Amino acid sequence: MPDMLIMRHGEAGPGYPDHARRLTSRGEREVEKMARWLAERVAAGELPMPTLYASPYARAQQTAQALCDGLGTPLETLDFITPEDSPSAVSDWLLEQPEGTPIMLVSHMPLVGDLAGLLVEGSPAQGIGFPTAAIAEFEAEVWAAGCAQLKRFTQPSQL
């Protein structure tokens, strides 16, 4: 069972300011597909219901809201998981979270890739590329640099 899931928002349109960019119709379809897949896994008992946290940016909020609607769970916003935020600040926050319920973060590149690299390899420079709406699932005894294992990586095109 994963302890944490990290998801990149669905495809977003261009625009300015960056925080106001919204999902494209393709992005909405990607997210709906991933939300259905997660809901099926929760219903089958394969995945415990995660606590959902999203970046305050519009595209991440839209993505997370689709997941919340599909899973029937509330959404919380974290203002320190925007694109250019520090992966080590997120790692520090993870260390403070109670054990038990898996956490799901909905955020952006480069943060999602850098955070994955930090948790698994011990360095953000070893980050992984995240296609839009992709979900990485991790397990760890402790959320410190280099202590997590990537257990599964799923993107919409695989479903």
The pLDDT of residue 13 is: 97
Mean pLDDT of 131-142: 96
CATH number at residue 48: 3.40.50.1240
Is the per-residue pLDDT at 112 higher than 90?
yes
User: Which residue segment(s) compose the domain that 44 sits in?
Assistant: 4-158
- pTM to 2 decimal places: 0.96
The pLDDT of residue 1 is: 67
- CA atoms of 143 and 91, how far apart (whole Å): 6
As for how many domains the chain has, the answer is 1
The pLDDT of residue 38 is: 97
> Could you report the per-residue pLDDT of 51-79, keeping only the tens digit for each?
999 999 999 999 999 999 999 999 999 99
